[in-house]
Amino acid sequence: MDVFVQQLINGLTLGSIYGLIAIGYTMVFGIIGMVNFAHGDVFMVSTFIALISFLVLTALGISSVALAFLAVLVITMALTALWGFSVERIAYRPLRGSFRLAPLISAIGVSIFLSNFVQVAQGARNKALPSMLDGGLTLFERDGYAVTLSYKQILIMAVTSVLLLGFWYLVQRTPFGRAQRACEQDRKMAALLGIDVDRTISLTFVLGAVLAAVAGLLYLLYYGVVSFSDGFVPGVKAFTAAVLGGIGSLPGAVIGGLIIGLIETFWSAYFSIEYKDVAAFSILAIVLIFMPSGLLGRAEVEKV
């Protein structure tokens, strides 16, 4: 029981991070029907932006953790948004209207470029962040096993929840969100109604990148170590989460992220840590066999 609760907490924390990244995949897929394989690497870039901002702020002598965290959050979101925007502008937009696989190949190219760029610019070794925000709450203790909820985990879950609520509001209740959903359902019709479709797509990439940036910052805080290759595995996991939840569905991405996070941690705790990825991907395969459009994805049938 104790181990179970502890793993539940750990799994939800990890799942929150996957969920944030997964939203970027699912939104971009929803609006232009393309898997943005570079999204994981945009996430990785954001971890480096966060790391560098932390180090710069520390060098400037800012010692308040809360202040530093907020400043880094804003800087990371802004700079990563710029990356997301540029990637779409340079690598995808010129290919719109081209054959279907062209942007996909371009995305893989961007992914390779980003990880190599960071490797060259930052070096191939792991980069560590001096540990901060240590400690936590002990929920209960039995037979010498303490179930703890660390401050970092609280921060991750709190930031994720607030962000998801705000994001849900943006998509469901604001004119921009409406335009975004309209483009998702029928781009040509949206243009006929005066919606600037290119701009809406750009903003979708920016939003996805902003969420990835938050995930990147939280990831950096949680693990304390980042490397140029960190775009790949978390990226693939988040993509899996998006597919599991039903690609194109925002709640699906979050739920998929949580499920993948939970499976991974529980598998590591109860079975073997070496096979945690196998477990996560096996669940994906099993779900897709029985629900081909994912948990919350919609079937392709629609009344016309």
Partner 1 sequence: MSASLLSLRNVSAYYGSVAALRGVDLDVNEGEIVTLIGANGAGKSTLMMTVFGAPRARSGSISFAGEDITARPTHEIARLGLAQSPEGRRVFPRMSVQENLQMGAALHGGRYFAQDLDKVCTLFPRLKERLSQRAGTMSGGEQQMLAIGRALMSRPRLLMLDEPSLGLAPLVVKQIFSAISALNREEGMTIFLVEQNAYHALKLAHRGSVLVNGRITLSGPARALLDDPSIKAAYLEGGHAPAAAVGEGV
Which residues of this chain interact with partner 1, rule CB under 8 A? 175, 178-179, 181-182, 185-186, 188-197, 298, 302-304
Q: H or E segment at 108? A: helix 101-122
Q: Which is nearer to partner 1, 61 or 194 (CB)?
A: 194
Q: Which is nearer to partner 1, 171 or 241 (CB)?
A: 171
First vs last C-alpha separation in the chain = 51
240 CB-contact burial (10 Å; exposed 0-12 / middle 13-18 / buried 19+): buried
**Cα 6 to Cα 36: distance, rounded to the nearest angstrom:** 34
Q: How far is the CB of 35 from partner 1 (least distance, A)?
A: 21
CB 28 within 8 Å of CB 172: no
Q: How far is the CB of 195 from partner 1 (least distance, A)?
A: 6
Q: Which is nearer to partner 1, 66 or 192 (CB)?
A: 192
Q: Which is nearer to partner 1, 114 or 171 (CB)?
A: 171
Q: How far is the CB of 87 from partner 1 (least distance, A)?
A: 23
Q: How far is the CB of 193 from partner 1 (least distance, A)?
A: 5
Q: How far is the CB of 171 from partner 1 (least distance, A)?
A: 12
Q: Which is nearer to partner 1, 136 or 177 (CB)?
A: 177
Q: DSSP letter string over 154-190? A: HHHHHHHHHHHHHHHHHHHHSHHHHHHHHHHH-HHHH
CB atoms within 10 A of CB 99: 9
CB atoms within 10 A of CB 269: 16
Q: How far is the CB of 303 from partner 1 (least distance, A)?
A: 6
The three-class DSSP label of residue 123 is coil
Q: H or E segment at 132? A: none
| Residue 65 CA to its chain's centroid (Å) | 24
Q: Which is nearer to partner 1, 141 or 196 (CB)?
A: 196
